[in-house]
A = this chain, B = another copy of it.
Amino acid sequence: MPGMDGELSIGAFSRATFLSVKALRHYHEIGLLPPESVSPGSGYRRYSVEQVPIAQVIRRLRDLGMPLGEIATVVQAADVDTRNAAIIAHLERMEDELAQTRATVASLRALLEHGPAPIAVEYRTVPETAALVIGEEVGLADAFGWLDAAFAELRAAVGALGLERAGADGALFASALLEEERGELVAFVPVVGDAGERARILPATEYAVAVHHGSFEDLDQTFGALGVAVAQRAIGVQGPIRENYLVGAPETTDTAAHRTEVCWPVFQVAPD
C-alpha cells in the first residue's frame, strides 16, 4: 500500500515542515537535507517521516537568521548535547542582538525627536606617548570584542612588569578599518618612563578632538562633527584615528557616564 512505508513527496514534506519546495531543493543541492531517497528514473525526491522534525528545526533556525553553513554543523553534530548547546548559544546571541536592536531603535527615535546634540571640537597636539601596545588586523564587527581582550592582556602585562600607568587607555583605528570595515587596530596603555622592549612610543600628532559622551551607540554623531569641522577648518591627513577611553567599562558600568576622546588627525589648523 502506498505511503505505508512512511515516505513523503516533496510537496507533502513541504506542507509538513513549512519549508518551500524551492528551499527543499536548495537544501538537497547543498547537502544540508538530502531526501531519504531519489527515484532513479524520474528524479522524484522522497523524504522519510524521521526527517520532519529535523527539517522543522532547520526552518526555525533559518527564521532566526542562522546561516545555512552554521545550521549544517549544528544539525550534523555527533551527539544531541553538543547540538543543543550550539543552538542555545545561538539563541543567546539572538537575545544580545535583540537588545542591540532595541538600543538602536531608541537612539534613532531620540535623535529624530530631539535633534542632534551640539558637539564641541578643539584642535590640539597630543604629545608623544610611551605605551604598551598590541596590534592586529581585524574586522570592524569584531573590533570591540578584540579591544576588550587586548586591554585585559595589556593591564595584566602592566601589573606583571610593575609599571605605572600614565593616562587613559586608547586605541588607533586605521583608515581602512573604517572605510573598508577591515584593517589594523592597535590597543595601547600609556605607561610612565622606560618599559624597555615591550613599549612603543606613539609619535606626537596634531588632532581635531571631540569628547564623546555616553555609549558607543551614538558615536557616529561625534565622528560626524569631527569630519565636518575638519572639512571646514583644517586639512585632514592620513594616519589612524585615535580614541582615548577617559571613562569606560572598567571605571563604571553606567554607559551614560562614559567619556571617549575621539582624535582625527589633521595637518594644519586654520584660525578658529
Contacts and interface: CB of A to CB of B under 8 A. Distances in A.
Contacts of A221: 56
Interface size of A as a range: 35 or more
Given A87-B112, A94-B105, A101-B64, A52 B18 contact: no
Contacts of A102: 95, 98
15 contacts: A1-B270, A3-B233, A4-B270, A6-B228, A7-B231, A15-B175, A16-B227, A17-B220, A17-B223, A18-B220, A20-B179, A52-B228, A84-B112, A88-B112, A98-B102
A123 interface: no
A56 B231 contact: no
Give the interface SS of chain A, mostly helix, strand, loop or mixed. Answer: helix
Contacts of A165: none
A202 interface: no
Interface stretch (A127-135, A149-157, A234-242, A244-252): A234-242
Contact of A230 (B3, B112, B178, B180): B3
Contacts of A241: 15
B56 A224 contact: yes
Contacts of A42: none
A239 to B, nearest CB: 12
